[in-house]
């Protein structure tokens, strides 16, 4: 009897230890598009963050606690983003959110006060909307340049080489309309003229009307404020229609996926802004770190592209804030640690948060696809 009682007590103690260990996990939650036209975006953002968390966990975690990433698919639908985020808060009790995709989706989180009511920070969203930058919500932390900064880089570069007639393809939602307003201001500031603009509906690739409207205006350059699938379809149809303009897509378009969809010969010459360094670089410390961890942990069904780097970078910023928040961090302490990250070097990319500005990066580069489907700077 005594032996049985001792065994029961030992088992109970073991279960208590295991339970304590499980509860010590730092839970980070992501709600993003893992289905529909933006599935590759959500998938690569998640994979990039997971790679960083795997590397951190392999080294003992944060103050001895492992990081566990949980995710849910909102299909790029704003109402689902809010519903699933609230569900995550109830069932997973995350310390932070990461890697949400879409301007309207993030705005819905703020409008419905999901972050404020839970006191939970959201970092590394896949949006550079100027509305979010100006809003400077106390719980939202952006680790990419704004769309306005991307567009300024485009108009500055092309205006100095003689381009004056611009057109814009934009997604007909908060993302597209906000960036369109930035483009109108930027083109005027650069001394150019907006000769045409065409819209397409969110979650579709119905760009035919926009192709005709923009081709008829004969622009010298077309700025694509569009997701990857819509950008690829627009480029394909525009070139078939004989529009010989220079096409420049914002960073939300993925070059590799454009090549997969329409082929390298049709994609050749497409320029794209980038808000993180080249994934093939051998000189940027952040990229070398990612390359090494990619080889070590071998993520499945993803490629090391710019979106993957963006997810990894955001997770790396979050991990630094977790370290600074100390053992047994709270959401409040984590939020405050994020806000205190000033001129923080994550490996050749600097993040600069402050109480007045939660948009932490201004990094913008321009790349172009060659005839082999490879990006050149």
Q: Give the tokens for residue 73.
A: 């698919």
Distance CA(96)–CA(322), nearest Å, equals: 10
pLDDT band per the 50, 70, 90 thresholds, residue 24: confident
Supply the CATH number for residue 168's domain.
3.40.50.2300
Cα(179)–Cα(150) distance, integer angstroms: 10
Residues 252 and 331 in one domain: no
Residue 377 lies in a domain: no
Examine residue 370 and state whether it is found in any structural domain, yes or no: no
Backbone phi and psi for residue 180, each to the nearest 5 degrees, phi listed first? -60, -45
- Say if residues 188 and 156 touch (Cβ distance below 8 Å): no
Give residue-wise pLDDT tens across range 265-283.
Answer: 999 999 999 999 999 999 9
Do both 137 and 174 map to the same domain? Answer: no
Q: Are residues 140 and 287 in the same domain?
A: yes
pLDDT digits (tens, 9 = 90+) for 126-171: 999 999 999 999 999 999 999 999 999 999 999 999 999 999 999 9
Claim to verify: residue 29 and residue 134 sit in the same structural domain: yes
Residue 20, pLDDT > 60, answer: no
Residues 109 and 177 both lie in one domain: no
pLDDT score at 37: 86
DSSP label at residue 192 = -
116-136 core/surface letters (b: 16 or more CB in 10 A; e: else): eebebbbbbbbbbbbbbbeee
Residues 6+ apart with CB under 8 A from 217: 165, 167, 195, 196
Percent of the chain exceeding pLDDT 90 equals 92
57 in any annotated domain: yes
Mean pLDDT across 25-40: 95
Report the distance separating Cα 362 and Cα 321, nearest Å. Answer: 20
Average pLDDT over residues 327-356: 97
The residue from 229, 245, 274 where one domain ends is 274
Model confidence at 202, pLDDT cuts 50, 70, 90, reads: very high
Q: Are residues 245 and 339 in the same domain?
A: no
Where a domain ends, among 218, 239, 274?
A: 274
Same domain for 135 and 199, yes or no, is no
pLDDT of residue 21: 44
Position 12 scores a pLDDT of: 41
Contacts of 84 (CB under 8 A, 6+ apart): 31, 72, 73, 74
Please report which confidence band the pLDDT of residue 377 belongs to, taking 50, 70 and 90 as the band edges.
confident
The answer to whether residue 372 is domain-embedded is no
Q: What is the pLDDT of residues 306-338, one digit of tens each?
A: 999 999 999 999 999 999 999 999 999 999 999
* Residue 67 domain-assigned (yes or no): yes
Supply the pLDDT for residue 10: 43
Domain housing 127: 9-145+282-351
C-alpha R_g of the chain: 22
Contact present, 270 and 368 (Cβ < 8 Å): yes
Residue 340 pLDDT > 90 = yes
110-130: average pLDDT: 97
Do residues 256 and 268 both lie within one domain?
yes
pLDDT of residue 324: 97
Residues 244 and 294 occupy one common structural domain: no
Residue 240 neighbours by CB distance under 10 Å: 11
As a whole number, mean pLDDT of residues 85-112 equals 97
**Domain presence at residue 364:** no
Task: Look at residue 108 and tell me if it is in a domain.
Answer: yes
Number of compact structural domains in the chain: 2
Q: What value does the mean pLDDT of the chain take?
A: 93
Q: What pLDDT score was predicted for residue 6?
A: 40
Flag whether the pTM goes above 0.85.
yes
Question: Each residue of 209-247: pLDDT tens digit?
Answer: 999 999 999 999 999 999 999 999 999 999 999 999 999
* Token pair for 32: 């993003």
């Amino acid at each position: 009897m005594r032996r049985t009682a001792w065994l029961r007590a030992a088992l109970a103690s073991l279960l208590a230890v295991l339970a304590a260990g499980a509860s010590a996990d730092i839970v980070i939650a992501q709600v993003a598009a893992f289905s529909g036209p933006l599935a590759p975006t959500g998938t690569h953002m998640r994979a990039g963050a997971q790679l960083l968390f795997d590397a951190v966990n392999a080294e003992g975690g944060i103050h001895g606690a492992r990081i566990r990433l949980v995710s849910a698919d909102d299909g790029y639908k704003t109402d689902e983003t809010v519903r699933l985020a609230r569900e995550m808060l109830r069932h997973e009790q995350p310390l932070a959110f990461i890697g949400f995709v879409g301007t309207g989706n993030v705005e819905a989180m703020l409008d419905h006060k999901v972050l404020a009511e839970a006191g939970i920070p959201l970092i590394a969203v896949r949006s550079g909307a100027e509305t979010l930058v100006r809003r400077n919500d106390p719980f939202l932390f952006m680790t990419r340049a704004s769309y306005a900064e991307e567009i300024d880089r485009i108009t500055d570069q092309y205006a100095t080489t003689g381009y004056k007639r611009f057109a814009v393809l934009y997604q007909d939602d908060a993302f597209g309309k906000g960036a369109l307003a930035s483009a109108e201001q930027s083109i005027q500031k650069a001394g150019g003229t907006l000769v045409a603009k065409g819209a397409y509906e969110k979650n579709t690739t119905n760009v035919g009307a926009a192709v005709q409207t923009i081709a008829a205006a004969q622009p010298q350059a077309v700025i694509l404020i569009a997701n990857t699938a819509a950008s690829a379809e627009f480029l394909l149809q525009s070139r078939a229609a004989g529009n010989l303009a220079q096409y420049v897509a914002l960073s939300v378009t993925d070059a590799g996926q454009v090549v997969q969809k329409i082929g390298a010969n049709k994609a050749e010459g497409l320029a794209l802004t980038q808000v993180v360094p080249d994934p093939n670089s051998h000189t940027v410390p952040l990229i070398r770190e990612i390359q090494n961890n990619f080889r070590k942990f071998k993520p499945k069904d993803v490629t090391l592209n710019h979106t993957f780097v963006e997810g990894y970078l955001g997770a790396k910023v979050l991990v630094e804030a977790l370290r600074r928040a100390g053992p047994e961090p709270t959401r409040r302490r984590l939020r405050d640690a994020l806000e205190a990250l000033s001129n923080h070097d994550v490996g050749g990319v600097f993040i600069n948060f402050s109480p007045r500005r939660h948009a932490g990066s201004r990094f913008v580069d321009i790349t172009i696809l060659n005839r082999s489907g490879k990006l050149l700077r």
